[in-house]
Amino acid sequence: MADTGFAPSWLLFDRSTRAIIYGYQAQAVQGMLDFDYVCRRDRPSVACIVNPTRGGTHLAFWGSRPLPVPMYQSLAEAVARHPEASVLVNFASARSAYGVTAEALAHPCFRVVAVIAEGVPERRSRELIAMARERGTTLIGPATVGGIKAGAFKIGNAGGTLENIVESRLCRPGHVAYVSRSGGLSNELNNIIARNTDGVYEGIALGGDRHAGSTYIDHILRYERDPEVAMIVLLGEIGGTDEYEVADALRAGRITKPLVAWCIGTSAGLFSAGVQFGHAGARADAQRETARAKNEALRAAGAVVPASFEDFDRSIAETYCRLVAAGKFAPAADVQPPPIPMDFGAAVRAGVVRRAPAFVSSIADDRGEELAYAGLPISEVIERGLGVGGVIGLLWFKRELPAWACRFIELVLQVAADHGPAVSGAHNTIVAARAGKDIVSSVASGLLTVGPRFGGAIEGAASVFRRAVKDGQPAGELVAAMRAKGEPIPGIGHLAKSVTNPDRRVELLKSFSAQHFPATPHLEYALAVERLTTAKRDNLILNVDGCIGALFLDLLQSSGLFCAAEIDEVADGGMLNGLFLLSRTIGLIGHFMDQRRLRAPLYRHPWDDIAYLAPDRHEP
Ligand code: ACO
Ligand code: LMR
């Protein structure tokens, strides 16, 4: 066993032991911290985590307070930053467990290395065992849950849930130390010992492989030397001969403390051929390796061995009571551990708390096996060919729109995708791209120009035309009222297009609606307005925004899927400019790519494009 010079060689862990956890095992880390907390340790036992894929910090809890746990990408860095850590809890997979353990054994700081992985090749295990013995490091595992020192330190998931740990009185040390192969049965031992004595002092699970890093005798001899241990419990099993080392030590007087022992697997004798039990090593290939033979040898050597496992607890209780009666030690008093707050998720599942959600979402749901858009599984969206228009119907309006409506939406996306480099949005994107900005910044800079005078009149037009149609307001009255207010009618007017130079996009939208829409009352109203405004000025035409706004109202109304209040909500809700934003993003990305491909020089506006004015001077 290693001896650092600071602690006696039999002592592997105490209340100041710190560990490095190899592998991002958030639950095991929290389990160790919760154990520390209920034991009222001064400092958390987890020094840090090694996560080869990500450094930074893992946020855990210390009681109810958040506790940042440092995370490093290499063991070397973790050791350099936490030289006080004396235990490595190695959660590396069977594939990498050997490499990580070999690396750890080269660091003199580790007194104990626990290897959790199952399936480490036997040849590799034997190499690690030889390395560990040579360096004086205690190797626990592979294929183990680790072990627990009551009131002081626990390896990974040892001891099971916090309820188990508290119920098994592991928050403070008792006087019984045990060693077993199995992790699951060590939980049972915690329970048996807690019920029949003053509780566990320390328990180690060696792991179920044929070759274990440390053996029964290694730990039993430590317990023999530790003055805090009053009696020892050994739970052996079928397979291997390690229990004979214990029998030999008993006979040689190297073990003087009472030892209660049982080897499980006695039922194997009922089967004709050799039986392989759960562990890789749990198989008797010779008479000597059977549980019965080993129980007899231990009994003959002086161990307390019951007649069957049924009586194991009674043997432990009787041995313990004899020691107490002889005044060998004072039984440990129970302590009240501090309460650990329940995790919020667990409390919700248990139905003991509820909390209003931070926000509500009702369009897509990714909680089930398959993502669903407005309740429709994504595979159905694709199989039924709903297209981009159908997806917009589901995600924006939570309805499965009719095919003609989906096609109209796609037509809008196509015709409004770009209008050349001279319009506000394209201009800004081009300037940003030429100034070296990235795609997100360049496209966003173009989108930020969308507003009442550029591309952002769809919702204004929908709102104005909707109210006028609902109120039965004659077109002439609307034009006069807007003029009286001094406001332009949204959706009317274009800088470049006019009656004599009509906008082909508007023509395409109108002709589609004539062919496919059941009715177009809002478009008809908008055209009546256009007739009046173009009579005044040639360019006051129904523009592309206005046409989309009016026709979208007709789409909602004619689909029969929306009530009047829902159509009002869409018309006044400031949502419909989304159609222009989505469509124009296509063009703006194109402008960004175009500038990048052309490797355009950085942007600087020519001087002669700018008029300079002298500042106004106001004479007093
Ligand atoms: N309704 C009524 N009168 C109008 C409108 C209108 N929408 N637009 C302009 N006018 C009148 C103005 O009152 C002004 O009249 P006046 O000469 O008697 O003073 C005259 O037309 C010129 O006004 P400008 O603001 O100079 O018009 P311009 O042609 O420069 O602007 C613009 C075009 C910005 C599209 C404008 O018509 C407008 O603001 N329209 C409403 C908003 C709109 O639909 N924007 C989307 C455009 S399409 C697109 O970007 C994809
Ligand atoms: C556009 O689609 O960008 C335009 O209609 C705006 C414009 O000024 O041409």
Burial-class residue 228 by CB neighbours within 10 Å (0-12, 13-18, 19+).
middle
Our answer on whether the CB atom of 492 is closer than 6 Å to any ligand 1 atom is yes
Strand partners, 169: none
Given a cut of 90, is residue 489 above it in pLDDT? yes
For ligand 1, whether the C-beta of 455 sits within 6 Å is yes
Provide the pLDDT for residue 279.
66
Sign of the Cα torsion 539, 542, 543, 546 reads positive
Q: Pick the residue whose CA is nearest to atom 39 on ligand 1.
A: 453
Closest residue by Cα to residue 519 from 399, 413, 397, 405: 405
Give the pLDDT of residue 276.
64
From 494, 509, 577, the mutation candidate for ligand 2 (largest count of ligand atoms within 8 A of CB) is 494
Ligand 2 centre distance from Cα of residue 93 (Å): 60
- With contact defined as beta carbons under 8 Å apart, do 294 and 264 qualify? no
Ligand 1, atom 5: nearest CA belongs to which residue? 488
Tens digit of pLDDT for each residue in 195-231?
A: 999 999 999 999 989 899 999 999 999 999 999 999 9
Residue whose C-alpha is closest to residue 89's, from 170, 10, 153, 16 = 153
> Which ligand 2 atom lies nearest to the CA of residue 545?
5
HSE-up (13 A, CA, CB side) for residue 499:
11
pLDDT score of 280: 65
| pLDDT of amino acid 601 | 74
Active site residue 279: yes
Domains along the chain with CATH numbers: 19-325 (3.40.50.261), 364-415 (no CATH), 424-598 (no CATH)
Is a pLDDT exceeding 90 seen at residue 79? yes
Say what the pLDDT of residue 324 is.
97
Reported as a pLDDT band with limits 50, 70 and 90, residue 620 is low
The answer to whether 151 touches 206, Cβ cutoff 8 Å, is no
State the ligand closest to the CA atom of 547. 1
Per-residue pLDDT reduced to its tens digit, 393-439: 999 999 999 999 999 999 999 999 999 999 999 999 999 999 999 99
pLDDT, residue 7, reads 73
In short, whether 596's Cβ falls inside 6 Å of ligand 1 is no
Burial letters 152-180, b for 16+ CB under 10 A, else e: bbbbbbbbbebeebbebbbbbbbbbbbbb
Query: Ligand 2 pocket: which residues have CB below 6 Å?
Result: 416, 419, 423, 454-455, 495-496, 544
Site to probe by mutation for ligand 2, drawn from 495, 508, 583 as the one with most ligand atoms within 8 Å of Cβ, is 495
Q: Ligand 1 centre from 429 Cα, in Å? A: 24
Provide the 3-class DSSP secondary structure of residue 127. Answer: helix
> Distance, CA 539 to ligand 2 centroid (Å)?
13
- Tell me the C-alpha to C-alpha distance, in Å, between residue 139 and each of 12, 21, 111, 132: 11, 15, 9, 6
| pLDDT for 5 beyond 50 | no
Is-contact 549 462, C-beta < 8 A? yes
Q: In this predicted structure, what is the pLDDT of residue 267? A: 72
Tokens of 188: 């049972």
* Parallel/antiparallel/unpaired status of strands 65-72 and 56-62: antiparallel
Reduced to 3 states (helix: H, G, I; strand: E, B; else coil), residue 315 is helix
CA distance 75 to 103: 8
C-alpha 412/C-alpha 432 separation (Å) is 26
pLDDT of residue 2: 39
Q: Distance between CA 440 and CA 189 in Å, rounded?
A: 61
Q: What is the mean pLDDT of residues 234-258?
A: 96
For ligand 1, mutation pick of 428, 453, 505, 539 (most atoms within 8 Å of CB): 453
Band of residue 282 on the pLDDT scale cut at 50, 70, 90: low
- Residues 140-192: tens digit of each pLDDT: 999 999 999 999 999 999 999 999 999 999 999 999 999 999 988 999 999 99
pLDDT at residue 290 is higher than 70? yes
Q: Which of 279, 419, 494, 522 is catalytic?
A: 279
Token pair, residue 128, equals 């690690």
- Which atom of ligand 2 approaches the CA of 544 most closely? 5
Task: Give the whole-angstrom CA distance, residue 580 versus residue 299.
Answer: 87
User: Is the pLDDT reported for residue 335 higher than 80?
Assistant: yes
E strands in 83-123: 87-90, 112-115
Q: Which atom of ligand 1 is nearest to the CA of 479?
A: 2
Q: What is the DSSP string of 74-131?
A: -HHHHHHH-TT--EEEE---HHHHHHHHHHHHT-TT-SEEEE--S---HHHHHHHHHH
**Residue range 512-519: mean pLDDT, rounded:** 98
CA distances from 265 to 183, 192, 273, 276, 337 (A): 16, 19, 14, 10, 37
Handedness of CA 338, 343, 344, 346 (dihedral sign): negative
Q: Residue 600: is its pLDDT beyond 90?
A: no
- For residue 6, give Cα distances in angstroms to 108, 112, 154, 235: 14, 15, 20, 31
**559, 564, 567, 572 alpha-carbon torsion, rounded to 10°:** 170
CA of 419 to the centre of ligand 2 (A): 6
Average pLDDT, the chain: 94
pLDDT bin (cut points 50, 70, 90) of residue 4 is very low
- State whether residue 608 is helix, strand or coil: helix
CA–CA separation, 198 and 174 (whole Å):
5
Token pair for 174: 């008792």
- 76 touches ligand 1 (CB under 6 Å): no
Structure tokens of 240? 């291997």
What is the reported pLDDT for 150?
Answer: 98
What confidence category does residue 604 fall into, taking pLDDT thresholds of 50, 70 and 90? Answer: confident
Mean pLDDT of 31-56: 97
Q: Amino acid letter at 397?
A: F
* Helix, strand, coil % in the chain, rounded to nearest 5: 45, 10, 40
State in Å: Cα 548 to ligand 2 middle: 13
Closest ligand 1 atom, CA of 461? 44
**Nearest one of 30, 48, 21, 187 to 114, comparing CA atoms:** 21
CA of 490 to the centre of ligand 1 (A): 8
Residue 605 has pLDDT above 80, yes or no: no
Residue type, 251: R
What pLDDT is stored for residue 3 in this prediction? 40
Mean pLDDT of 316-342: 96
Contact criterion met (CB below 8 Å) for 142 and 209: yes
**pLDDT value of residue 610:** 80
Share of the chain above pLDDT 90, in %: 88
Q: Both tokens of residue 62?
A: 């210390």
Instruction: Tell me if 337 CB under 6 Å of ligand 1.
Output: no
For the Cβ of 452 lying below 6 angstroms from any atom of ligand 1, the answer is: yes
Q: Whose CA is nearest to atom 17 of ligand 1?
A: 537
Bridge partners of 205, per DSSP, are 180
| pLDDT given at position 349 | 94
Q: Is 497 close to ligand 1, i.e. is its CB under 6 Å away?
A: no
Q: Alpha helix locations (H) across 401-489? A: 403-415, 424-434, 439-447, 458-471, 475-485
User: Would the pLDDT of 194 be above 80?
Assistant: yes
- CB 412 near ligand 1, within 6 Å: no
